[in-house]
Amino acid sequence: MGKSGVKRAPSARKEGTQVENAPILKRDMSYTQNRELSWLKFNERVLAQAVDPTVPLMERMRFVSIFTSNLDEFFMVRVGSLIDMDMLAPEEEDNKSGMTPRDQVSAICAAVVPLIERRDAIYRELSNELDNAGVTETSFEELTAAQKAYVQEYYKENIRPLLSPQVIDRSHPFPHLKNKALYAAALLTLSGKPASGKQAGSKQSGGKQAAGKQATGKQPAVLGIVDVPASLPRVIMLPGGGVRFIRTEAVIAAHLKKIFKIYDVSEQAVISITRNADISLSEEHYDEENPDFLNYMRKLLKKRDRLAPVRLELEGRAPRLAKRLTDFLKLTPERVYSCDCPLKLDYIDQIEHCPAALFNVPHAPVYPDYLLADRPIWEQVVQRDVLLFYPYQSMQPFLDLLRQSAKDPDVLSIKITIYRLARNSAIAKALCAAAENGKEVTVLMELRARFDEQNNIDWTVELEEAGCRIIYGPENLKCHAKLCLITRRERGGLGYIAQIGTGNYNEKTSTLYTDFCMMTADAAITRDAVSFFENMLIGNSEGEYEKLLVAPNAMKNRIMAMIDEQIARGADGRIRIKANSVTDRQLIDKLSEASCAGVRIDLIIRGICCLVPGVPGKTENITVTSVVGRFLEHSRIYAFGEGVEMKLYLSSADFMTRNQDRRVEVGGPVRSPELKTFLEEYLNLLLADNTRAWRHQTDGTYTRLTPGDAQPIDVQAWYLEHPIEFAKSQAPRENLKDRFRRLWRR
């Protein structure tokens, strides 16, 4: 940035639509912070669950695993993207922190080091506690004679035939290491007498990488690598009583001397490479060169495993080995991490016969008791709006609606947006059944849902074969909306039901994430839903809607207009937002403006929050709360005002620029007084949580809330223990409305 305080946009940008050389006004960054560093603070809160004594031991170990897999994805996507940006636009500055891409990568790498050290210490402590509880990981050296004989036989029969060891020298180039696959790597020297200086440059030396000038005349080390086959189980359960196991990679590492027979092992470690996973449609012009979008995505997906390395991890301390690998991979030292913890902790789910006391008490989502099992869901939704609260309540009523619609001779069509599906999706199967029964089924399938691309491709093929019409939405916009529309022939014409969700149509995550599913026959909402699918079918992202908030054309503008309404109320204004992340600069600035006007604002943000609360004269009327617990807090709720005048929306969109400007998103108004009352109570309970909640401080840190002398409030435990109750009345919609008006007057 020049002395004038105005920076020119670079000619190459990875994202966004900024005009080349357009001036960017200098931003006030006194109440904002960097997105990536904020995310690392969120992952630190995840790791903190692993030291919570109220969480069962194996669940605590799972939080270590979640922390680790979160960090893997962060490096693949965010760090990979920043490295790309550093090549495309090295002077581009983050509009929340003023940092360039290289600044951000350096800050990330520095911040990760203490997190890894803390993760390792927690893992060691939990391993000791699990050992005391009867679940023991055993090293190869600690095996009893009987256990070693068992493991040796297992290795001979099941592991050795699958191994493909390789040394790296002039005849054997450095192999391609797959993203996040495990390998046992070693520095090797030929057994026997030291070689002469002349021999040091032989084929066995590894060429330029290893030869150099050997002052001592000793044979230089070569690099040896053997993969840990992904087809193998990660653990081998051991005989001899109790729950004892050894990890498969530890067995392979223990056999490296036998694997590389003619060599001695001087250093070794289990390693993993993290590669850039930020594949982008901008890499090719699929519309010109690849008119078949499905095949284009298949081709693009294959590139992910070949993208550049962004991180090297080693389990164990092997500095010379790390240096050799770093040279081959062309990584900077700051992106190399040595640790004590296993590089992938998904093996913990393969440990057999663990005591039940080490896990959470299983929770089965319940079928809402205010819905009648002997009546079609369609009839009940026509009479009153229905809200499902995952994971406390089951997705089954929505599945029932789809299955009943597939068989109902009067149902004419089903239209739905899909972002992520379960591998064995009951929803997809219901859509296939509907198409096979002659219904018109239209699926707006998002093939670019990161890390679910292949699953979505597979389901696209199956849905098409069943007779569903597949569309992919507007070009260059991911469709992240969660909207379903069912059309039925009725006496007076056509009837509609719309379903609006905050989370994916995924039965598995509906048992792990907190989300809402609202089904309604409200005429204004269903009219908008009809228009939405009409627009998507012709690729129109700029349609106008009466009730729905739809991005990218109008959602942000209408949110800002509703914030303005609260600004006009001053100290009587009230805003509550529950979302996963807040990064959009325009929305952050508008919330700051509302705070300055005296509006009370509570943000319930699980993950990234680039807005810093409590800054005098900027955000002093804003609080930021993060709830991290057994279930992932995933739902998005926007509430403007209070009481009967409150405007409340359920949405698929976070307060992120990508959601508001570069995706198709839908937010639906909650118009039922009963449902609004319930959701407002839920927001207030989240704000009252003093057990799983963290409060964002003005210095950018988070402080975990504790009950002290007050009654402990754990919002997730509350809903696990208390049934969710709604009125069971099935009175007509108009009568329900009148009844709640009377209730509010009281």
Residues tagged active-site: 480
- CA distance linking residue 697 with residue 435, whole number of Å: 53
Write the single-letter amino acid at 683.
L
127-146 burial by CB neighbour count: b if 16+ within 10 A, else e? beebeebebbbbebeebeee
Return the half-sphere exposure (C-beta side, CA atoms, 13 A cut-off) of residue 187: 16
DSSP per residue over 332-370, as a string? Answer: -GGGEEEESS-S--GGGGG--S--GGGSPPP--PBPPTT
Three-state DSSP class for 653? coil
Check if the beta carbon of residue 548 is closer than 8 Å to that of residue 499.
Answer: no
148's enclosing H/E stretch is helix 145-154
SS (H, E, C) 625-642: EEECCCCEECCEEEEECC
Check if the beta carbon of residue 5 is closer than 8 Å to that of residue 98.
Answer: no
What lies within 8 Å, CB to CB, of 464 at 6+ separation is 470
Check if the beta carbon of residue 623 is closer than 8 Å to that of residue 611.
Answer: no
DSSP per residue over 50-114, as a string? Answer: GG-TTS-HHHHHHHHHHHHHHHHHHIIIIIHHHHHHHHH-TT---TTT---HHHHHHHHHHHHHH
SS (H, E, C) 161-218: HHCCCEEEECCECCCCCCECCEEEEEEEEECCCCCCCCHHHCHHHCHHHCCCCCCCCC
User: What are 507's two structure tokens?
Assistant: 């039965």
Give the torsion sign (CA, 51, 54, 56, 62).
Answer: negative
What lies within 8 Å, CB to CB, of 30 at 6+ separation is 615, 618
Looking at the DSSP bridge assignments, the partners of residue 703 are 695
- CA distance linking residue 530 with residue 546, whole number of Å: 12
User: What are 409's two structure tokens?
Assistant: 């001779």
What lies within 8 Å, CB to CB, of 289 at 6+ separation is none
β-pairing, 493-501 vs 23-24, is: unpaired
Return the half-sphere exposure (C-beta side, CA atoms, 13 A cut-off) of residue 93: 18
Strands (DSSP E) found in 250-327: 263-275, 309-315
Check if the beta carbon of residue 401 is closer than 8 Å to that of residue 519.
Answer: yes
Q: How many CB atoms lie within 10 A of CB 185?
A: 25
664's enclosing H/E stretch is strand 663-669
- CA distance linking residue 519 with residue 497, whole number of Å: 7
